[in-house]
Structure 1
Amino acid sequence: MFPEYRDLISKLKSSDLHFQKLFDEHNELDQKIKNIESGIAIDTSETIESLKKLKLKLKDELYEILKKASK
């Protein structure tokens, strides 16, 4: 996710607790979605859709923080 911001992501993960929380939550959702889609975990398609929407919302928030911090 956002390879162009790799260094900034590392910096923010260690200095910005809000960013770190969002980043970790995004990664947890990503793993949960992968587990459901691969059959490791059982869930409904409605849940997958809502998880994907939440993941996208978090990704948007992370991107906004990265854009502001890169200025």
Structure 2
Amino acid sequence: MLGEMHDVLHEFPDLKDKINELHDNDAEFAKLMDTHDQLDDKIRGLEEHEQPVSDFHMEDLKKQRALLKDQIYDILRGLS
């Protein structure tokens, strides 16, 4: 869906406390989360304002966001 929020807290609402704790106490996690959320803001901005961007570029941005989300989820599950 266009313009749908995919920031980390919206993606994993049941892990909010753990996310906030890690963000405050783990610099690497905070950097991943901030990068993910900035990328999500960029994607949403392009979608909502119908900015001209190639399909390839948009898909690349979404793939980057998905990879970051996977890394974040692995940390939240204790796999990293």
TM-score using structure 1 length: 0.88
Question: In 2, Cα distance between the equivalents of 1:24 and 1:66?
Answer: 15
Question: In 2, Cα distance between the equivalents of 1:15 and 1:40?
Answer: 37
Aligned sequence identity (%):
38
TM-score using structure 2 length: 0.79
Task: Give the corresponding residue for 2:14.
Answer: 4
Q: How does 1:8-47 map to 2 (within 5 A)?
A: 8-39=18-49, 41-47=51-57
**Bigger share in helix:** 1
Range with greater deviation from structure 2 (40-49 or 50-59) = 40-49
Give the 4+ runs in structure 1 shifted more than 3 A.
none
Q: Which runs of 5+ in 2 are unaligned?
A: 1-10
Deviation readout 1:8-31 (Å, 9 max, x if unpaired): 000000100110000001001101
Q: What secondary structure, in the 3-state scheme, does the structure 2 residue paired with 1:68 have? A: coil
Range with greater deviation from structure 2 (1-10 or 39-48) = 39-48
Deviation at 1:40, TM superposition (A): 5.7
